[in-house]
Structure 1
């Protein structure tokens, strides 16, 4: 059976983000963008990371330019923007495609696992994975990472950690 831990992502710093390194830990993965109306959600993602990382949760951002060309920057520009404006310290992947024929394998798998409606239709779709690496919940852009329902889904996977 495939799990989230079977995937690797190009890292924002130029290396590789091997999700197997987080095996047994719950994850929150989101596609991000620096020039989007939802960009302030970086603040909430950082708050979730700060609050829950000691419980095992790993937050991972995947910059994406698929929606409205709202992530046009280079890796260095994205990194600087995220750190300077939102204090982002959670792991970030390099800019990647999350939809259609050019989607990275992780998002192709997510679409197969969760179905058509769970496909990202904009920036800041959030996917929560349990400690077995299986999708536990997903939320669209309009649900902030700090929303009560998002927190409840996170608490459910971290309590079992």
Structure 2
């Protein structure tokens, strides 16, 4: 099956089996190694990508479901100002991410900040429910994301 979608702001087309998992296609056919293959059941979120600006585990998404959609991986996200804002806030909170969870944790953070100008603790906790890693704690992540949102609201009011 021929699938067309936007990957990291570029139109792409691939010939593949319709039921192949997005995570497999991104790693094998596009060499995007930030998409980790671990649980294959939405447990760790180390395979997270942005699908139309929503953080989703790519291990459970069949490739046919992304036809015509926009996918952003950590490789592209890490070049943005949003990435810099979030990682700066994480550093201020003393958060050091390991290589296993960093893509999922930061893409989820971006998704939260995009959806909510002033996220509640519960909204942040709910978004991270599947992100399990020893290097992070939800209290520090919550503080960092609230800091990012305050900064963005402040910048918006300055304009």
Q: Which has the higher contact order (CA 8 A, sep 6+)?
A: 1
Q: Tell me if both proteins adopt one fold, taking TM over 0.5 as the criterion.
A: no
Bigger share in helix: 2
Q: TM-score, normalised by structure 1?
A: 0.32
Q: TM-score, normalised by structure 2?
A: 0.32
> Radius of gyration: which is bigger?
2
